Amino acid sequence: MTFVREAKSEDFQYIESLRRKEGSALGFVPKGAYESVLEKRRVANRDRFKYQKLWVTEDNGDLTGFCYASFSQNPASIIQIVVQEDARRWHRAILLEGQVEQEARERQLWIIKARVAYDLESNWYWKAIGYIPIEQTTSTWLNQKESKSKRPIIVYEKQLDYGKGLERFML
């Protein structure tokens, strides 16, 4: 049985290992970003732990994937979702994405974005779970000059149904 929990400091080794294995599919995130979130402390003059989250999936006591997301503004942003190759099943990624949705709703953020290289199979996943491609770009504004891959990136967006349950208040 798969379950999702917030990542802990001792999960860093697993997250770092999986991130390295899947490096060609994942965007670069500095080690300090993970450390700030996992250890809930300031790293490199940033308090990422206040607005970012890391979750892991666990199956029978073994970690099988993780999600890194930011909630600093609307839209919320899924920075990375990755499930290790021998455990790839949609339900694990869906559980992780569900955590992002739940956190976004709690923070009253009603849009979630995800950025995916155009040549990855995961583009099918994002479309299948309701994300809509809204633009294509090459790299983030901050690292356009340093970007090594120069691969096109599809930006997906999902609007959450924030009005659910409010119908009774409407005339």
What tens digit of pLDDT does each residue of 152-170 get? 899 999 999 865 544 433 4
Q: How far apart, in whole angstroms, are the C-alpha atoms of residue 85 and residue 83?
A: 6
Bridge-based pairing state of the strands 111-117 and 132-137: unpaired
Question: For residue 28, what pLDDT is reported?
Answer: 77
Question: For residue 83, what pLDDT is reported?
Answer: 92
Question: For residue 163, what pLDDT is reported?
Answer: 57
Q: How far apart, in whole angstroms, are the C-alpha atoms of residue 149 and residue 152?
A: 9
Put simply, whether the predicted model's pTM sits higher than 0.75 gets the answer yes
- Amino acid 158 reads K
pLDDT digits (tens, 9 = 90+) for 55-91: 999 999 999 999 999 999 889 999 999 999 888 777 8
Q: What share of the chain in percent tops pLDDT 90?
A: 63
Sign of CA dihedral 50, 83, 135, 163: negative
Q: How far apart, in whole angstroms, are the C-alpha atoms of residue 151 and residue 158?
A: 23
Mean pLDDT of 129-133: 96
Q: Is the pLDDT of residue 12 over 60?
A: yes
Tell me how crowded residue 3 is: count the other CB atoms within 10 A of its CB.
Answer: 9
